[in-house]
Amino acid sequence: MLKKFISYYKPHKTLFFTDMFFAFLISVFDLVFPMFTRNMINVIIPDGNMQLLIRWTGIMVFLFVLRYISQYIVAYYGHLLGVRIEHDMRRDIFTHLQTLPFSYYDNTKTGHIMSRIINDLMDITELAHHGPEDVFISAIMLLGSFSILMFIEWRLTLIIFAFIPLMIWFAIKKRKRMEEAFMKARKKIASVNSQIENSISGARVAKSFTNEEYEIMKFNDRNAKFASARGESYKVMAEFVSGVGIISSALNLIVISLGGYFVYRNIIDLGDLFAYTLYVNFFMQPIKKLTDFMQQLQNGMTGFTRFQEVMGIEPSIVDREDAVELESVEGRIEFRDVTFSYGNDDEKVLSGIDLTIEKGRTVALVGPSGAGKTTLCHLIPRFYETSSGEILLDGVNIKDVKLKSLRRNIGLVQQDVFLFTGTIRENIQYGNPSATEEDIIQAARNASIHDFIKSLPRGYDTYVGEKGVMLSGGQKQRISIARLFLKNPPVLILDEATSALDNETEQMIQNSLERLSRNRTTLVIAHRLSTIKNADEILVMTGNGIEEKGSHQELLDRGGIYAELYRAQFRDLQ
């Protein structure tokens, strides 16, 4: 764990060593000052040597200026180092999240993921900066002050250092409790983030059901649990800090009492005691720094542990070493004895599916919810991995194809359209980031959305709101179709793309989809059977798999499941 953490310093080693060098200078300046004070009290002032006094004062002023400059560099560049390491970690975890399959997002709350990316990494900045710096300075100050204290009065020093094992024992004892408490608090804030994300996303639903108070109650419950966990962690930390404080105060009392006795017995003089007192305080500073470091370490390493938990999740769907790039895809799709289940082999969603879809043909999938229609389609771009069997595209097993190459050749239009926060132009251009303005406009024309966009005050620069909330369902759907026109994939999957729309909007979008589907292999998942009457083939799926195949008229003439579904819908429309 520590080795992995240290590896993030390598790209920024110049910044790191600059920080450490000036931190070292600060330590040296701090160690020099008490010796100067001792020399002033014991020698220069008693001798009345004003010239030497002025000279040494000038030297110390110069050193103070250097210390100020060093402090500035440490404060600025040290924190800059922490920020850059946090940036690198956030980049790595976000990049890694892009490699994880749908199953990870199916089982992980969005708020928890955001907590890993944001909250957990915030404290790593402080640890990355202050951790090595505090340990380095503390080591110098401890060794330096110990050497000088031994030089001034070794007997008093040995008495003081006898307390060090006690402080180490106390720190080790409290460290485990602090680690557990801070980890518990981390998990609770992730739960709070998840609740906030869920409540904000569902704000319209909450208001429509007048459940604002219920949402507040749920939030308050999780927020209270977080506050309790956070309070417990600070309780343990307070025990640690106060315990170290008691030991520190005891050391100061010993120095003053025994030091006074030693002056009384003429073992040391007053200048030595004054310098000794300063060095003891300098000796206590690194101990206090180490106390703060323990808190930073617990916060930072707890966050880094949670960061590593995500980074340690191996992508279950990856490219094989000999994976190939697809070229000139025609779109012939084959399912050979395909079986699939969501993690539980006893609950198969698909079993023994054999299916061939010739290039350029439109195949519709109909049937009850839960029959596996969407799952079957999601297996083609490898959003999920088959449990057994194989799927071929143009005769090539999709597992032998590079993921990006495979998905680049497949387009998906879903019922629940997702638009990114931004402008209409940005959302259309998402289909092909290198597309020109002319390409974007042509795609919008093909999707029958150009005229609407031009009627808006800001045209293509119109802000769509979060998840496209400023637009209607039909408008969002046509924008999603426009970006697929830009992508121009040879294989198209339409997952109930018009089922949530009114008849007039549905017909408009249906026309756009027909243009989009032209000369492409198209799979259509449909609830409204009237929209797939012209499909080349219709597959009727149930829990038993593919029950019926044929054209619209053939299935009606057969009088089976499809005919019953069609008659039921037809009766509903009367």
Domain-by-domain residue ranges, the chain?
13-311, 333-573
Rounded-to-integer distance, Cα 520 and Cα 513, Å: 11
In Å, how far from its chain's centre is CA 559? 53
Q: Name the nearest CA neighbour of 418 among 461, 477, 460.
A: 477
**What is the tens place of the pLDDT at every residue in 340-357?**
988 665 678 888 899 999
**What pLDDT sits at residue 38?**
67
Q: pTM higher than 0.85, yes or no?
A: no
Query: Are the C-beta atoms of residues 334 and 308 closer than 8 Å to each other?
Result: no
**What pLDDT sits at residue 283?**
66
Q: Tokens 């369902």 belong to which residue? A: 473
**What pLDDT sits at residue 400?**
93
Mean pLDDT on 250-258? 77
Confidence of residue 287 (pLDDT cuts 50, 70, 90): low
Mean pLDDT on 185-205? 69
pLDDT at 135 > cutoff 70: yes
CATH class assigned to 13-311 = mainly alpha
Q: Name the nearest CA neighbour of 494 among 467, 506, 101.
A: 506
By percentage, how much of the chain surpasses pLDDT 90? 12
**What is the tens place of the pLDDT at every residue in 300-336?**
777 788 888 888 888 888 888 888 998 888 899 999 9
Q: Which of 44-53, 83-92, 163-172, 253-262 has the highest mean pLDDT?
A: 83-92
Angle (deg, nearest 10), helices 119-152 and 270-311: 150
Confidence of residue 338 (pLDDT cuts 50, 70, 90): very high
Which are the contacts of 376, defined by CB distance < 8 A and separation ≥ 6? 335, 338, 350, 353, 365, 541
**The two three-digit tokens of residue 401, written as one number:** 């194809």
Which are the contacts of 492, defined by CB distance < 8 A and separation ≥ 6? 410, 411, 412, 413, 484, 516, 517, 520, 521, 522, 523
**What pLDDT sits at residue 437?**
93
**What is the tens place of the pLDDT at every residue in 491-513?**
999 887 665 555 666 677 777 77
pLDDT at 535 > cutoff 80: yes
Confidence of residue 133 (pLDDT cuts 50, 70, 90): confident
Pick from 16-30, 67-81, 151-165, 275-289: least confident? 275-289
Rounded-to-integer distance, Cα 259 and Cα 263, Å: 6
Q: What is the DSSP letter of 314?
A: P
**The two three-digit tokens of residue 58, written as one number:** 């000038």
Backbone angles phi, psi at 122, to 5 degrees: -60, -45
**What pLDDT sits at residue 497?**
66
Mean pLDDT on 125-139? 77
**The two three-digit tokens of residue 357, written as one number:** 């879809």
Mean pLDDT on 79-102? 86
Rounded-to-integer distance, Cα 475 and Cα 211, Å: 29
Give the mean pLDDT of the chain.
Answer: 81
Q: Name the nearest CA neighbour of 520 among 488, 479, 552, 560.
A: 488
Q: What dihedral angle (degrees, nearest 10) is formed by the CA atoms of 464, 465, 466, 468?
A: -40
**The two three-digit tokens of residue 480, written as one number:** 């999603």
Which are the contacts of 8, defined by CB distance < 8 A and separation ≥ 6? 85, 88, 89, 128
CB burial of residue 398 (10 Å; 0-12, 13-18, 19+) = buried
pLDDT at 463 > cutoff 50: yes
Mean pLDDT on 225-230? 78
Pick from 71-80, 464-473, 507-516: least confident? 507-516
C-beta atoms surrounding 553 within 10 Å: 9
CATH number 3.40.50.620 is the correct assignment for the domain at 333-573? no
Mean pLDDT on 271-289? 70
**What pLDDT sits at residue 288?**
65
By percentage, how much of the chain surpasses pLDDT 70? 88
- More confident position, 559 or 165: 559
Q: Which of 222-226, 289-293, 516-520 has the highest mean pLDDT?
A: 516-520
Query: Are the C-beta atoms of residues 83 and 15 closer than 8 Å to each other?
Result: no
Confidence of residue 203 (pLDDT cuts 50, 70, 90): low
**What pLDDT sits at residue 266?**
79
pLDDT at 423 > cutoff 70: yes
* 333-573 shares the fold of 13-311: no
Backbone angles phi, psi at 365, to 5 degrees: -115, 125
Mean pLDDT on 403-412? 89
Burial 154-180 (b: 16+ CB within 10 A, else e): eebbeebeeeeeebeebbeebeebbbe
Pick from 186-200, 294-308, 324-338: least confident? 186-200
Confidence of residue 574 (pLDDT cuts 50, 70, 90): very low
For residue 547, give Cα distances in angstroms to 333, 521, 525. Answer: 19, 22, 15
Rounded-to-integer distance, Cα 210 and Cα 207, Å: 5
**What pLDDT sits at residue 521?**
92
Rounded-to-integer distance, Cα 458 and Cα 464, Å: 11
**What is the radius of gyration, based on Cα positions, of the chain?**
35
Q: Name the nearest CA neighbour of 108 among 193, 47, 49.
A: 193
